[in-house]
Amino acid sequence: KAPGPVLGVETSCDETGVAVYDLDRGLLAHTLYSQIRMHADYGGVVPELASRDHVRKLLPLVRETLARAGLGVGDLGGVAYTAGPGLVGALLVGATAARALAWSLGLPAIGVHHMEGHLLAPLLEPDPPEPPFVALLVSGGHSMLIEVAGIGRYTLLGDTLDDAAGEAFDKTAKLMGLPYPGGPALARLAEQGRAGAFRFSRPMTDRPGLDFSFSGLKTQVLLAWQASDRSEQTKADVARAFEEAIVETLAIKCRRALVQSGARRLVIAGGVGANRRLRAELADAGAREGFSVHFPRFEFCTDNGAMIALAGALRLAAGQHETPAIAVRPRWDL
């Protein structure tokens, strides 16, 4: 049975996200504070600074989210929070606040797997995909293909052997001197790039299997970039060729996973799911080959509280919740 409005709290990395989701009424409100500007000076996320900023922002965001939803704490039916994987200090801020709130209000609490949140984010959109479907989860920390038979019934079909797709974007962007976070910056630059000026390989597509490997690509880019005239146009050309290589590799493996599993629905989620070329390429492939493609809206591709509130509401409705002990999992297989 539906638990009533569920408060969702996400603090696994560098975004503080809060939302209220109700299984009957949908998403009632969501707020997000991104720490990206603070970490940009250091070229990447500084874990201790992340934890401290979550402490500053979380409770004000909870108040604001409840106000936007027109709810008081007494109207809530449960509290969900990201319990991992992620930065341990950052996770503990959200877990402690969420568990304390649930405890003080006598509400059930549930720790959500961050990647399950990403995986279910397309269910926040109109016309959500029914399981079974295949999910491509591509973020800064993960590149996974997952067969979804139902809520909580996940089979890992493929994983990255080295860098995650988002990590490959970020590292390649860094070596070309682009600002943090590199993924969106590189994607923007790629729009100015000319087709066919450079070509990089599509790693591991010439043999069977659904695993990924992206670390070799960044070396190819580095060598091509160092041997070039290093003009602004060349930089954009290299960015475009790199983006095409990643996108085509992901698309090939998605189609392979659909064939292997027999599913006709594909879900794309995680930060790299915000990439326009990836979205366009897979939407085209789906239209051509007869499978449906489902993405979260752009803001729910990257980290957010809405996906955690949704995943928590589904799990609470299934009768799952936790004992009062507080535990987080910096590493956690899906």
Binding-site residues from annotation = 114, 118, 137-141, 170, 183, 275, 303
Q: Which helix (H) or strand (E) holds 90?
A: helix 88-105
Subset of residues 52 to 91 that bind ligand KG4, contact rule: CB under 6 A: none
- Of 21-29, 104-112, 182-190, 318-326, the window that binds ligand KG4 (rule: CB under 6 A) is 182-190
Report what 182 binds from Zn ion, ligand KG4, none; CB cut-off 5-8 Å by kind. ligand KG4
> Which residues belong to the annotated binding site for substrate?
137-141, 170, 183, 275
CA-to-CA distance for 192 and 198, rounded, in angstroms? 14
**CA geometry: angle at 164 spanning 159 and 169, to 5°?**
145
Residue type, 300: F
One-character DSSP codes across 55-116: HHHHHHHHHHHHHHHT--GGG--EEEEEEESS-HHHHHHHHHHHHHHHHHHT--EEEEEHHH
Question: Strands, DSSP E only, in 188-322?
Answer: 265-269, 292-294
Q: Which two tokens stand for residue 185?
A: 């910056």
Burial class (CB in 10 A: 0-12, 13-18, 19+), 96: middle
- Of 53-61, 150-158, 165-173, 211-219, the window that binds ligand KG4 (rule: CB under 6 A) is 165-173
Which of 22, 244 has the CB closer to ligand KG4? 244
- Of 75-83, 206-214, 228-236, 267-275, the window that binds ligand KG4 (rule: CB under 6 A) is 267-275
Burial class (CB in 10 A: 0-12, 13-18, 19+), 2: middle
Report what 275 binds from Zn ion, ligand KG4, none; CB cut-off 5-8 Å by kind. ligand KG4
Residue ranges in contact with Zn ion by CB under 5 A: 139, 303
CA-to-CA distance for 112 and 312, rounded, in angstroms? 6
**CA geometry: angle at 301 spanning 84 and 248, to 5°?**
110
Chain Cα centroid distance, residue 334: 14
Shortest separation between residue 278's beta carbon and ligand KG4, angstroms: 7
Report what 14 binds from ligand KG4, Zn ion, none; CB cut-off 5-8 Å by kind. none
Report what 169 binds from Zn ion, ligand KG4, none; CB cut-off 5-8 Å by kind. ligand KG4
Residues 114-153, mask of contacts with ligand KG4 (x by CB under 6 A): -------------------------xxx------------
**Cβ proximity of 110 and 78 under 8 Å:** yes
Site for ligand KG4 (CB under 6 A): which residue of 17, 117, 271, 305?
Answer: 271
Shortest separation between residue 84's beta carbon and ligand KG4, angstroms: 11
Q: Is the dihedral of CA 163, 166, 170, 175 positive or negative?
A: positive
**Cβ proximity of 308 and 97 under 8 Å:** no
Which of 99, 114 has the CB closer to ligand KG4? 114
User: Considering just the CA atoms, what is the radius of gyration of the chain in Å?
Assistant: 20
Which of 133, 169 has the CB closer to ligand KG4? 169
Q: Is the dihedral of CA 83, 89, 94, 96 positive or negative?
A: positive
- Of 32-40, 87-95, 177-185, 308-316, the window that binds ligand KG4 (rule: CB under 6 A) is 177-185
Q: N- to C-terminal Cα distance for the chain? A: 25
- Of 50-58, 150-158, 220-228, 272-280, the window that binds ligand KG4 (rule: CB under 6 A) is 272-280
Shortest separation between residue 102's beta carbon and ligand KG4, angstroms: 24
Report what 187 binds from Zn ion, ligand KG4, none; CB cut-off 5-8 Å by kind. ligand KG4
Q: Which residues bind ligand KG4 (CB under 6 A)?
A: 13, 139-141, 166, 169-170, 181-184, 187, 270-272, 274-275, 302-303
